[in-house]
Amino acid sequence: MELTKNLTQAKLIKSMVVVILGSIALTISAKIKIPFYPVPMTMQTFVVLFLGISLGHKIALATIGLYLIEGIAGLPVFSNSPEKGVGLVYFTGPTMGYLIGFLAACYLASKIKVNDNFFVILFKLIVATSIIYILGLIWLGTLIGWDKPIFTLGAKPFLLAEIFKIILLSLLTKKIIKFRNFI
């Protein structure tokens, strides 16, 4: 009985540490800008998908949930914070749809299986990333008006970087899953 309680507590502590470290990794991925064409690239969507693949949906959702709560609470975890604001004001700005999309994307990425072939993995990652952009564009259009070139403003500049990240992650996914299953 005592052993079961200790194992449960150890598992809970391990999960909490992983969630905190994952939110830190997501914050770092949002802050580092890599030169890319036509706009600098962050590795944020890569890390969102990586978290889903490597941690499974429960821990990945908790990780991204913590990240969003940290940002809403005013910690400068988001990509352009504190330069463009912090807290709920920043969260409800133009990027809110994308940030909410992180939750759906990590969940979808967590459904990739080790026996999926490269093209199935690629397809699933494209769908997961597309959800981020669909929710982002819906919110952006609602916020700034549908008469604006929403796709040109909110997706087009980032497509090459997303393709690069999806292909890179597709190549690494089987190794990530095998490592996760090994631990």
Domain boundaries, the chain: 2-177
| CATH number of this structure's domain 2-177, picked from the four choices 3.40.50.300, 1.50.10.10, 3.90.740.10, 1.10.1760.20 | 1.10.1760.20
> Which tokens is 148 given?
């604006």
Taking a C-beta distance cutoff of 8 angstroms, is the pair 155, 141 a contact? no
What residue type is assigned to position 83 of the chain?
E
Helix axes 44-72, 2-31, angle to 10 degrees: 100
How do residues 9-56 score in pLDDT, each as one tens digit? 989 999 999 999 999 999 999 999 998 887 889 999 999 999 999 999
Taking a C-beta distance cutoff of 8 angstroms, is the pair 129, 105 a contact? yes
How do residues 112-155 score in pLDDT, each as one tens digit? 999 999 999 999 999 999 999 999 999 999 999 999 999 999 99
pLDDT of 159 reads: 95
For range 64-92, the mean pLDDT: 93
Residue 152 to residue 170: CA distance in whole angstroms: 26
Helix axes 44-72, 96-109, angle to 10 degrees: 120
Residue 131 to residue 133: CA distance in whole angstroms: 5
